[in-house]
Structure 1
Amino acid sequence: MSADIPPLVADRVSQKARDTLDLVKKFVEEECMPADAVARAQMEKQGQRWGVYPPVIDDLKAKAKKLGLWNIFLSKTHYAEGAGLTNLEYGLIAMILGKSSLASEAVNCAAPDTGNMEVLAKYGTDAQKKQWLAPLLDGTIRSAFLMTEPKVASSDAKNISLKMERQGNEYVLNGQKWWSSGAGDPRCKIYIVLGKTNPNAASAWEQHSVILVPAGTPGVKIERYLSVYGYDDAPHGHAEITFDNVRVPASSLVLGEGRGFEIIQGRLGPGRIHHAMRSLGSAERALELMIARVNDPNRKTFGKQLNQHGVIMEWIARSRMEIDAARLVVLNASIKIDETDAKGAQREIAAAKVMVPAMALQVIDRAVQSHGAAGVSQDTPLASMWAHMRTVRIADGPDEVHLQQMGRNENKRNQAILGKFEQQRERVRQKLREYGFEPKL
Structure 2
Amino acid sequence: MNQDPSAREAAPRSDIRATCRETVRRHERALIGLARSLHAEPETAFAEHRSAAEVSALLAEHGFTVQAPVAGLDTAFSAERGHGDLVIGICAEYDALPELGHACGHNVIAAAAVGAALALAEVADELGITVRVLGTPAEELGGGKVLMLERGAFDGLAMAMMVHPGPEEICAPRSLAINDLEVRYAGRAAHAAAAPELGVNAADALTVAQVAIGLLRQHLESGQMVHGIVTAGGAAPNVVPAHTAAMYNLRAAESLSLERLENRIRACFEAGATATGCSHEVVQVSPVYAELSCDDELSEAYRAAITELGRRPVPRAEQAERVIGSTDMGNVTQVLPAIHPMIALDCGDAVTHQAEFAAACASPSADRAVLDAAVAMAWTAVAAATEPGLRSRLAASAEDRPVRTGKHNAAGSGADPGSARRQHTSGGVA
Shared fold by TM > 0.5? no
TM range (shorter): under 0.3
Specify which structure has the higher proportion of helix: 1
Higher relative contact order (CA 8 A, sep 6+): 2
The TM-score normalised by the length of structure 2 is 0.27
Query: TM-score, normalization: structure 1?
Result: 0.26
